Amino acid sequence: MRTLTIAASLAGAIGCGPLVALDGDADTGTGDADDGAPADDTGREPAPDTGEAGGPPGSDVDDGGDVDDGGGTTSGSACGDGIVDPGERCDDGNAEPGDGCELDCTPTPGLLLWSQTFDGAGSGDAGIAVTADDTASIYAAGSLRFDGDDHAWLHVFAPDGAALADHVVDLGADEIATAVAISPTARVFVAGVQPQDDRAFLLRLDDDALVSIEPVPTDIIGFGAVLAPTSTGLALVTHAFGDDGLLATISLRDADGAPTGDVPLPTDVFVGTAVPTPAGGVWLAGSQRPGQNIQNAWLGAVAADGTLEWSFTADAVRGLETRIRSVAMLEDGRLAAVGTRGMGGPGDGTEAGWIWWLTGDGLLESDGPLDIGGASARPSSVVAGNHGLVVAGTIAALDDGFVAGLAQDGTLQWGFELAGEQGFEDRISALAVVPGHGIAAIGTITQPDTDEDAWVGLFSD
C-alpha cells in the first residue's frame, strides 16, 4: 500500500525545487487592490539551495516569461538551442533547471507569473471559483460587497492578466457566486446562492452581460451551488432537506442552461465540488452521513444523463469526520482525491489534509495524510498539471492559503503561501488549468484598510 506523507517542513523540502518558499515573512505577491494591474513579482523569494537536485543557488524565479534569452545552445537537440520551435513552450538555450525553462522546454513549475486583488466597498469580498476556456481566457467568480450586500462577481482575464471583462450582478438580495463553468457550446455560466431567500441562481454570459436563467432550485440550503459541464450541457447540484435527511439533487441542463430533468443523489450526501470526466459526465466530491457523529468521505461518478455509475465511501468510524473536496485524473487514468480527515472539524485542531488514490472506476488503492509545511492543511482543490498534481487550500494553523506541486507519486515539488498582511482568513479556494499557460488560482486575502479581498493568480506549470 502506498501512503503519502509530504515533508514535515516545506521550508526544508522547498530547497529541492527552484521554487517559491513557503514562509510567512515574505511579500504576498499581490497587485494593488482595485487597480486590476498584473503584479510583477513572484510572491516569494527563491529558497536557498540545499545541495539537492533542483534550483541552483540564486535561481531567478522572476524570469518565467523569458522563453528565448539566447544563453547558449545544446548541440544536436532542438530543445536547448535558444529557439522556441513548434511544440516547445520555452527554450532558454541552456541546461540550468529552475531558471524559468526546464530541460524539456517547458516552464519551471510553481512560479507566480502574476496576481491581482479585487475589493468591493469594504470587507467581505471573496474569490471562490475559477475556470478557463480553450482560448486560455480565465473566468474568476465569487462575491464583492457593496453597502453591506454581497453581489455575484465575474471577472474575465487574458492569460497575461489583462482584464477582458468585469461583471457585478445584484439580483435584489445577497448573491454569492460559488461556481463557474463553460458548456460544450462555449457558453459561460455562473451559479450560486441567495442565502436570504434559500434560492439558487444561474447566470449566462451573453455578449457583455450576465442574464438570469430560470427556473432554478428553490427552498434549498445555502451551502453553495455546484456546477460542471457535461457532454450535453451542465450539471447543477444543490441541497435541500427531504423527509429522510439531506437531499442533493442534480439539475441537468442543456448547453444553453435550460433544464432537462432532475436526478436525486443518495440520501445524506453533501456535494461540494463537481469535476467533468473524460466520458462527458461529472465526478461529485463531498461526504455522506450514515449516522450520528459519522461523516464519511464520498466520491461519485455521474454520467451525462444523471446516472450514478459508481460511488466510493470511506469506512465509517464514529467520531471521525472525513470529506473529499476535489478530484483529478492522472495520466495513467487513476484518480487522486484530496480532502480532510479529523475528529470534529477545523475548530478543534485535529482536522488534517488527506489524499486518496483510486482506480478510474472508484476502487481505493491507498490513502494517507497530506501535510503541507508541517502544519495541518485543508486542501480545497486539485488539478493534474504538466509536471504532476497541483493542490491548493488553507494551512489551518496559520490561516494562510497555499498552492503546492506534487509529483505523480505524491512527492512535494514546490509550494507557495498566500499570507495577507492582517494574518488571518487567507485561503485558496479553487484551481483551473489554463491551456498552454499554467494553473490559475483563486482565493481570498486580507489586507489593511480593505480587509478581505478576492485574489487571483497564475502559476507556471
What pLDDT was estimated at residue 22? 36
Q: What is the rounded CA–CA span in Å between residue 315 and residue 319?
A: 12
Question: pTM for this one?
Answer: 0.83
| Residue pointed to by grid coordinates 519551471 | 108
CA–CA distance, 151 with 224 (Å, rounded to integer): 14
> Is 71 among the domain residues?
no
**Any domain includes 49:** no
**CATH classification at residue 128:** 2.130.10.10
- Domain that residue 249 falls in: 112-459
Q: Burial-class residue 307 by CB neighbours within 10 Å (0-12, 13-18, 19+).
A: exposed
Domain assignment present for residue 68? The answer is: no
Structural domain contains residue 45: no
Is residue 35 one of the residues assigned to a domain?
Answer: no
The neighbour count for residue 284, using CB atoms within 10 Å, is 28
pLDDT at position 150: 93
Are 412 and 399 in contact by the 8 Å Cβ rule? The answer is no
- Is 75 a domain residue? no
Tell me what pLDDT residue 41 has. 33
10-residue stretch averages of pLDDT, the chain, 461 residues long = 30 27 34 37 31 26 37 56 87 84 87 95 91 97 93 97 97 93 97 95 95 96 95 97 91 97 94 97 94 85 95 78 94 94 61 90 92 75 94 86 86 89 83 96 91 95 89
Strand order in the sheet with 259-264: 221-229, 233-242, 245-254, 259-264
Q: How many domains does the chain have?
A: 1
Can you give the pLDDT at residue 422?
Answer: 67
| Gyration radius from the chain CA atoms | 21
CB distance 193 to 224 below 8 Å? yes
Kindly state whether residue 268 falls inside one of the protein's structural domains.
yes
- Is residue 8 included in any domain, yes or no? no
C-alpha cell at 422: 492582517
